Amino acid sequence: MKKVCVYTLALCLVVSSMPSAPVLAEDDGATLLEERCSGCHPKSITTSKRKAPKQWQATVSRMKHRGARLTEEEMQTLVDYLSETFKP
Ligand code: HEC
């Protein structure tokens, strides 16, 4: 009985660490922009801008101080996404 448990656990670990596992929606920069950045102003205020990574970092950090709900990790994901998608 004990062996079965160990095998089941091992299988779960293998499955959950497979590279093909879908990325969680919460980790997606586009989703973060949609969900956390369109409450106070239209999303287009962001998507119409072109900024270098440092400037996006500064903007997102300012928005966080204004009240945007973002963890440090989400902030980094979003800054990476914005820097890649809306570059000058
Ligand atoms: C709590 C309200 C609030 C939320 C949430 C918010 N913003 Fe803002 N945003 C503002 C206000 C107020 C301004 C105008 C004043 C300013 O620029 O700081 C603004 C202005 C901006 C501007 C135009 C000015 C510039 O620096 O280019 C951009 C771009 C922007 N926000 C991006 C974002 C992004 C990206 C997010 C998501 C992380 C976000 N905002 C979330 C309140 C908010």
Give pLDDT, residue 25. 44
DSSP 24-43: PGGG-HHHHHHHHSSSSS-T
Q: Is 41 in the pocket of ligand 1 (CB under 6 A)?
A: yes
pLDDT digit string, tens, across residues 4-31:
656 665 655 555 555 554 544 446 999 9
- d(CA 20, ligand 1 centre) in Å: 35
Nearest to 56 by CA among 83, 36, 76: 83
Fold of 23-85: Cytochrome Bc1 Complex; Chain D, domain 2 (1.10.760)
- If you take atom 9 of ligand 1, which residue's CA is the nearest one? 63
**Ligand 1 center–CA 24 separation, angstroms:** 25
What average pLDDT does the chain have? Answer: 84
